[in-house]
Amino acid sequence: MSNRRELYQSPSGDCWYLGREPSNGRAFVIHQPNGPSGGKLSHIELGAFLSDGSGRPEQQALLRLIGTLVDIPPYADRA
């Protein structure tokens, strides 16, 4: 069983989660399509999820979450 955190829900009802396998700490993206699309969960490696560079909303949500892990002062304070 994995732990997960919702990243993004599309207007059509698809959901993306950031998941982590408790036994080894490995992170991945879980995609849950909406009901009419079958609703079957799929696990996607982080690199594969971000690799096409399309900037889809679910990719942007993951990048924003990753950005919260870094504590950098505002640009003016770094000069």
pLDDT at 72: 74
In this prediction the pTM is: 0.79
Q: Kindly state the DSSP code that residue 9 receives in the 8-state scheme.
A: E
Per-residue pLDDT of the chain (79 residues; tens, 9 = 90+): 458 999 999 999 999 999 998 899 899 999 999 988 888 999 999 999 999 888 999 999 999 998 888 877 776 665 5
Q: pLDDT at position 2, please? A: 57
For residues 16 and 51, give the distance between their C-alpha atoms in angstroms, rounded to a whole number. 16
DSSP-assigned letters across all residues of 13-51: S-EEEEEE-TTT--EEEEEE--GGGT---EEEEHHHHHT
